[in-house]
Amino acid sequence: MGVLMSRRQTVERVQKVSLAVSAFKDGLREQPSTRRRAEAGTARQGTLEQEVQEGEEEVLAGPSQPEESSASKAAWERLRDGRGVEPEEFDRANRFTPPAFIRPKRELHDDEPPDISLEQREQILNDEMCEICEVWTAESLFPCRICHRVYHDGCLRRMGYLQKDSAVEVTETAHTETGWSCYYCDNLNLLLTEEEMYSLMETLRNCKIIPGVCLTLDDFLHYKHQVHKQQFERTMPEAQEEQAALQFNALDPDKKGHIEWQDFLSHESIHLLQKIRPQNALLRLLTPKERERARAAFLALDQDNDGFIGEAECRQARHSWFRKHQKEMLSCNVSISHVGPISEGSPASSRNGKSPEKILPATKQEETSIDWPRFLRENVAYILAARPNSAALHLQPLP
């Protein structure tokens, strides 16, 4: 008679196998050729331009090409599988093996309009046990602000998803209005199906983008020009180049002069979802927590309770609610009391000096009234783009 294993038992068995595999890999690392490759991989950190130049030198070198190509192959495999930190990239002592992510599959009914009622509120319930170890320890569990999962900080450390710099931040924000996204929800690339992921990988290969490498402004604009030319067979207009530059600035909130690979990948993933999937399919990706925040935003803006808001109010929500905010600004998870009219001194209202509602006449506002279903459709991409913990704006709201 067979015995069913609990998830905790499965994790323990996987850990034992992982330790054996790690010991085997440690033995391989003692070989000179493997050690040289590891040292070369550590030294190869920089911008995309530097990586491309080193890649060209490797091709010219000839004999060492098969040996060095293994690192690049591993990077593409991580990208394909949606993995982040690898066991080889941090100290293995007391570590858990990161999970093997399973990409979603499209269903036949995905393109049909989902039934998301404005009046019917949803009850939000978090799991009672840690997603990793399945142990309940009450207040020491960190809830995800997007999904129902909860975690121990110790389990996150052993998984490699909570480093020293981020531990304090997670502890301070997980139980606040700002909240914290778990490693599932933080990675927008995991929303792509296998077919969509292969499409993105092909685009990155054709544009000579190397996984894991930071991109400068020149790299980013060059990539956007190549993608536009491949798609439309013509040069990208100047207006779109300016928009791409604004997006780069949004992805580089700290003004470091480059954007991190994970932020670039999240931006490209949400951009691909916008281009390939209809809005109804994107709406099905929203979690109950995200739908409840959207309801709170709409009801706060619908002050006369007629079921409609103005187009300017919809843009206001996009800028002040669904966009990613930097640490000194309000979070996208602020309570309903924070979702009010934008003040005259706020960034969204300072562009034109006047509130859009004051510029539009009453008849114009009535013509552009937006109901709840349209409000969701027009903002769903911004809601999804606000999932990562990074301060970067992975989808820059249009003015």
DSSP secondary structure string for all residues of 379-390: HHHHHHHT-SSS
Q: Are 129 and 162 contained in the same domain?
A: yes
Q: How far apart are the first and last CA of the chain?
A: 64
Whole-number pLDDT of residue 61? 46
Q: Are 311 and 388 contained in the same domain?
A: yes
Whole-number pLDDT of residue 9? 53
Residues 6+ apart with CB under 8 A from 161: 84, 85, 98, 183
User: What amino acid is encoded at 268 in this protein?
Assistant: E
In CATH, what number is assigned to the domain containing residue 152? Answer: 3.30.40.10
Looking only at Cα atoms, what is the longest distance across the chain? 76
Q: Are 226 and 318 contained in the same domain?
A: no
What secondary structure letter does DSSP report for 300?
Answer: H
- Comparing C-alpha atoms, which of 111, 122, 108, 167 is closest to residue 142? 167
Strand 308-309 and strand 370-371: pairing?
Answer: antiparallel
Q: Are 319 and 206 contained in the same domain?
A: no
d(CA 372, CA 313): 12
Neighbours of 21 (CB within 10 A): 12
Take residue 80 and report the two structure tokens written for it: 């394909």
Residue that finishes a domain, picked among 135, 154, 186? 186
E strand or H helix at 151, and its extent?
A: strand 150-152
Residue 202 lies in a domain: yes
Q: Which residue has the tokens 């999240």?
A: 266
Question: pTM to 2 decimals?
Answer: 0.71
What secondary structure letter does DSSP report for 360?
Answer: S
E strand or H helix at 309, and its extent?
A: strand 308-309
Q: Are 290 and 239 contained in the same domain?
A: no
Q: Are 131 and 150 contained in the same domain?
A: yes
d(CA 349, CA 198): 41
Provide DSSP, 247-295. HHHHH-TT--SEE-HHHHHHHHHHHHHHHHS-HHHHHTT--HHHHHHHH
Split into its structural domains, the chain has a count of: 3
Residue 212 lies in a domain: yes
Residue that finishes a domain, picked among 186, 210, 234? 186
Q: Are 193 and 224 contained in the same domain?
A: yes
Residue 345 lies in a domain: no
Let me know the angle formed at the C-alpha of 186 by 180 and 192, rounded to the nearest 5 degrees.
Answer: 155
Whole-number pLDDT of residue 73? 78
Whole-number pLDDT of residue 249? 95
* 382, 290 contact by CB (below 8 A): no
Residue 79 lies in a domain: yes
Q: Are 81 and 164 contained in the same domain?
A: no
Whole-number pLDDT of residue 147? 94
Q: Are 129 and 253 contained in the same domain?
A: no
Q: Which phi and psi angles does 11 have, rounded to 5°?
A: -60, -40
Neighbours of 374 (CB within 10 A): 15
d(CA 375, CA 295): 10
Q: Are 311 and 193 contained in the same domain?
A: no
Domain ranges, residue 205? 69-85+189-260
Q: Are 143 and 215 contained in the same domain?
A: no
Give me Rg for the CA atoms of the chain: 23
Neighbours of 16 (CB within 10 A): 9
Residues 6+ apart with CB under 8 A from 170: 142, 153, 156, 162, 180
Neighbours of 101 (CB within 10 A): 15
Q: Are 384 and 244 contained in the same domain?
A: no
**Strand-pair partners of 201:** none
Q: pLDDT, tens digit, for every residue of 348-370? A: 333 333 333 333 444 434 557 89
* 188, 394 contact by CB (below 8 A): yes
Residue 133 lies in a domain: yes
Whole-number pLDDT of residue 183? 87
Residue 285 lies in a domain: yes
Residue 340 lies in a domain: no
Residue 205 lies in a domain: yes
d(CA 258, CA 248): 8
Residue that finishes a domain, picked among 216, 234, 260? 260
Long-range contacts made by residues 23-27, C-beta under 8 angstroms, separation at least 24? 25/88
Below-50 pLDDT ranges, the chain: 1-5, 11, 17, 21, 23-24, 28-45, 58-68, 85, 87-88, 90, 92, 325-365
Long-range contacts made by residues 314-320, C-beta under 8 angstroms, separation at least 24? 314/370, 314/375, 314/378, 314/379, 315/356, 315/397, 315/398, 315/399, 316/341, 316/342, 316/348, 316/356, 317/375, 317/379, 318/378, 318/379, 318/382, 318/397, 318/398, 319/347, 319/348, 319/397, 320/346, 320/348
